[in-house]
């Protein structure tokens, strides 16, 4: 009863209901909430603090930015779900907020797109600046093992390096990416490498357009830190993963290189081990192994997931 009362008190205010509705669309930073709500930072921070104390929100700090997410467990999680359901019916009141949210996201997506557009030709150099690339690739191959891969899916294939790495073991290989500029380079890279069974095409990690349970090996190599909704991308990958298949995710461990956000379009400064593990767990995946590689400027983590029994 006490938990419920404190959650109700935490939610019972107009701005806080708007915050709940906004965060139901995905995690946001304080700065983004300030921009959408059009209120001062101290005021918004105060609401967030009270909501955090009531268990309605989870907060995490990353470099100079603080992100908020709706709690989805316990009494406060159930209250959030019920409120979101009611708030979604009251479209008019929240319409302006959702429009602002959509335009903020569009701005960010455009920025990331133009980053890859501008840097496509130079990507192979940029991708190895912070990472012990050979070490990561050797570990990825080890995690996959010697077995034949019937269908390989490389999500956010970029210049197609993961296809080059795994396609020799695969009967069919597909790389998808939202950037045409990156795909053009990937096609040029794959040409002449005797990998005629490897193809790339325009596609979105949130809507793969592939059949359920159709892919044996799915790779996300240095992709999720660009993603607006990494958990959703993992959910979609889990949907198309074959029962005995594997998802390999290679990404940065938490770091504080803020300029990667400012200059290289990163949305997240790496991920905690447990953060990605939990997203996997809640979408029907189980973590097979976790590895950390320290040979580059930044630490790289590899999450190896299978489907739950």
Ligand X SMILES: C[S@@+](CC[C@H](N)C(=O)[O-])C[C@H]1O[C@@H](n2cnc3c(N)ncnc32)[C@H](O)[C@@H]1O
Token pair 């104390």 is found at 53
Token pair 């990667």 is found at 260
Q: Which is nearer to ligand X, 47 or 161 (CB)?
A: 161
- The answer to the question of residue 279 lying near ligand X (CB under 6 A) is no
- The answer to the question of residue 158 lying near ligand X (CB under 6 A) is yes
Could you say which of 75, 162, 190, 200 contacts ligand X (CB under 6 A)?
162
Could you say which of 166, 226, 252, 271 contacts ligand X (CB under 6 A)?
226
Q: Which is nearer to ligand X, 7 or 224 (CB)?
A: 224
Q: Please, which of residues 39-98 interact with ligand X by CB under 6 A?
A: none
Query: What is the C-alpha to C-alpha distance for residues 220 and 162, in angstroms, rounded to an integer?
Result: 9
Q: By CB under 6 A, which span of 58-66, 97-105, 142-150, 204-212 interacts with ligand X?
A: 204-212
Q: Which of 210, 227, 235 is nearest to 152 (CA)?
A: 210
- The answer to the question of residue 205 lying near ligand X (CB under 6 A) is yes
Which residue's C-beta sits nearest to ligand X? 158
- The answer to the question of residue 280 lying near ligand X (CB under 6 A) is no
CB of 266 to ligand X, least distance (A): 9
Q: Find all residues with CB under 8 Å of 245, minimum gap 6, and list them.
A: 215, 216, 217, 218, 306, 307
Q: What are 153's strand-pairing partners?
A: 174, 218
How many residues of this chain bind ligand X (CB under 6 A)?
Answer: 20
Kindly tell me the burial class for residue 292, based on how many C-beta atoms sit within 10 Å of its own C-beta (0-12, 13-18, 19 or more).
exposed
Q: What is the dihedral of CA 216, 220, 224, 230, to 10 degrees?
A: 0
Could you say which of 80, 144, 151, 179 contacts ligand X (CB under 6 A)?
179
CB of 295 to ligand X, least distance (A): 16
Q: Which is nearer to ligand X, 50 or 104 (CB)?
A: 104
- The answer to the question of residue 119 lying near ligand X (CB under 6 A) is no
Query: What is the C-alpha to C-alpha distance for residues 22 and 20, in angstroms, rounded to an integer?
Result: 5
**Pairing of the two strands 215-221 and 241-252:** parallel
CB of 91 to ligand X, least distance (A): 26
Query: What is the C-alpha to C-alpha distance for residues 5 and 75, in angstroms, rounded to an integer?
Result: 10
- The answer to the question of residue 131 lying near ligand X (CB under 6 A) is no
Could you say which of 55, 156, 245, 280 contacts ligand X (CB under 6 A)?
156
Q: Six-digit token pair at 229?
A: 């909704």
Q: Which residues bind ligand X (CB under 6 A)?
A: 116, 127, 156-159, 161-162, 176-179, 182, 204-206, 221-223, 226
């Amino acid at each position: 009863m006490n938990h419920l009362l404190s959650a109700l008190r935490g939610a019972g205010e107009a701005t806080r209901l708007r915050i709940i509705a906004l965060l139901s669309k995905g995690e946001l930073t304080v700065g983004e909430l300030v921009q959408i709500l059009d209120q001062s930072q101290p005021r918004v921070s105060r609401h967030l603090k009270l909501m955090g104390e009531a268990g309605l929100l989870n907060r995490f700090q990353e470099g100079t930015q603080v992100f908020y997410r709706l709690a989805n467990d316990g009494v406060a999680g159930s209250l959030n779900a019920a409120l979101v359901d009611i708030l979604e019916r009251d479209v008019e009141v929240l319409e302006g907020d959702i429009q602002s949210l959509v335009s903020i996201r569009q701005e960010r997506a455009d920025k990331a797109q133009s980053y890859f557009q501008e840097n496509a030709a130079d990507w192979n150099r940029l991708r190895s600046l912070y990472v012990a690339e050979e070490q990561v690739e050797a570990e990825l191959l080890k995690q996959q093992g010697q077995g034949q891969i019937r269908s390989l899916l490389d999500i956010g294939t970029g210049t197609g390096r993961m296809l080059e790495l795994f396609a020799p073991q695969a009967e069919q290989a597909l790389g998808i990416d939202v950037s045409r500029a990156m795909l053009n380079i990937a096609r040029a890279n794959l040409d002449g490498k005797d990998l005629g069974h490897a193809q790339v095409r325009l596609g979105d990690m949130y809507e793969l357009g592939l059949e359920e349970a159709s892919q044996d090996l799915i790779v996300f190599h240095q992709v999720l830190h660009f993603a607006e909704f990494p958990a959703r991308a993992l959910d979609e990958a889990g949907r198309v993963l074959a029962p005995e298949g594997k998802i390999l995710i290679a990404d940065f461990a938490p770091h504080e290189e803020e300029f990667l956000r400012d200059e290289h379009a990163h949305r997240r400064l790496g991920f905690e081990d447990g953060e990605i593990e939990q997203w996997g767990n809640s979408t029907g995946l189980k973590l097979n192994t976790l590895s950390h590689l320290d040979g580059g400027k930044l630490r790289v983590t590899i999450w190896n997931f299978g489907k739950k029994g």
